Amino acid sequence: MPLYQPIYETNGHGSIVDPFAADVFDGLSKTPKSIPSKYFYDARGSRLFRQIMELPEYYLTRCELEIFRTHGRHIAALVSRGPFRLVELGVGDGLKTDVLVRALLDRDADFDFVPIDICAESVRGVTDSFRRMLPQMGFRIRGIVADYLDGLAGLDRDDDRHNVAMLLGSNIGNFAPNEARRFLRAVRRTLQPGDYLLIGFDLKKDLDIIWRAYNDSKGVTREFNFNLLDRMNRELGADFDRSEFAHHAPYNPAAGCMESWLVSRVSQSVSFGDGESRFYFDAWEPIAVERSHKYTLDDIELLAEATGFSVEEHFLDRRRYFADSLWRV
Ligand code: AVI
């Protein structure tokens, strides 16, 4: 049984002020302890993730870019029947979108681009860089700062444009399988028959190749994980000592995913704020911080069917490490 009594900060009406604090306190109260991976992405975490995408071991980003360079024109031709809205859920590095946007412009496609992200700086960054790179753009950009589903629900529907939504970079892999189904059904409900979803999946493959992508030789992924401890110290006044934690990232073949754990090397207590909330760790007790699920093409087809989509076509890189799958409502 846990021995702590967390005290939540409230706004005077009894409701919790900071969702990060609420999720951390909730997650550290569970067995095993866990913290949602979305909290990796503060400004420093987002910078570290951009470094991860450039690591030689992290093949995912380069494979997806190869797919867009090889198949971008074909994808552009498939989705651009009449005027449409290109809606990107989560604004990644913009590189793949840039390839697709250029292919669409080459075809004189009539489209608007709507990047949606919870992070205002990311939306601004992508919008500005598109404006700089493509100054004579023949398309409009309207960024939305919101989570994916709220952003989709808020799309302007007073026109005859269809929607082409994109969820790239294996972001779906960070959802547990039941959450992925729930999320994709909710996405489906915001779309109309004939709309598309282009979705990126990291494929199951040689386990060493996957393992190395999350255990890189420069230790950037380890730093990305430890930044979560630093973030709790910075933002929640916690006193985590990173030297007393280890980063452990094994592949779980039964669940088909990489797992990331921060493991307490010693028995210790960590306090938040002025010591109002305290959490106890046994020696070698872990905190689950991320799961990155890998798929087969069969898994992808079952997921599409279970969530109200039909698969139009899978696009793979040369080594068959990654797939972008085009689904239709
Ligand atoms: C954002 N997401 C798809 C990455 C992944 O591969 O799960 C996050 C990441 N975690 C460690 N390395 C990269």
What residue's CA is closest to ligand 1, atom 9? 49
Does the beta carbon of 325 sit less than 6 angstroms from any atom of ligand 1?
no
275 pLDDT band, cuts 50/70/90, is confident
Please name the amino acid found at residue 45: G
More confident residue, 139 or 253: 253
pLDDT for residue 12? 46
Does the beta carbon of 64 sit less than 6 angstroms from any atom of ligand 1?
no
Confidence (pTM) = 0.90
Q: What 3-state class would DSSP assign to 23?
A: helix
d(CA 39, CA 227): 10
Q: Dump pLDDT digits (tens) for 153-164.
A: 888 777 888 999
Q: Dump pLDDT digits (tens) for 228-242.
A: 999 999 999 999 999
122 pLDDT band, cuts 50/70/90, is confident
Pair 227, 45: CB distance under 8 Å: yes
pLDDT for residue 157? 75
15 pLDDT band, cuts 50/70/90, is low
pLDDT for residue 136? 67
Among 151, 149, 199, 132, residue whose Cα is nearest residue 171: 199
Does the beta carbon of 45 sit less than 6 angstroms from any atom of ligand 1?
no
CA separation (Å) from 282 to 42, 140, 244, 277?
28, 54, 12, 17
Q: How far is the CA of 80 from the centre of ligand 1 (A)?
A: 30
Ligand 1 atom with the smallest distance to the CA of 60 is 6
Q: How far is the CA of 312 from the centre of ligand 1 (A)?
A: 26
102 Cβ neighbours under 8 A, 6+ residues apart: 72, 134
Does the beta carbon of 51 sit less than 6 angstroms from any atom of ligand 1?
no
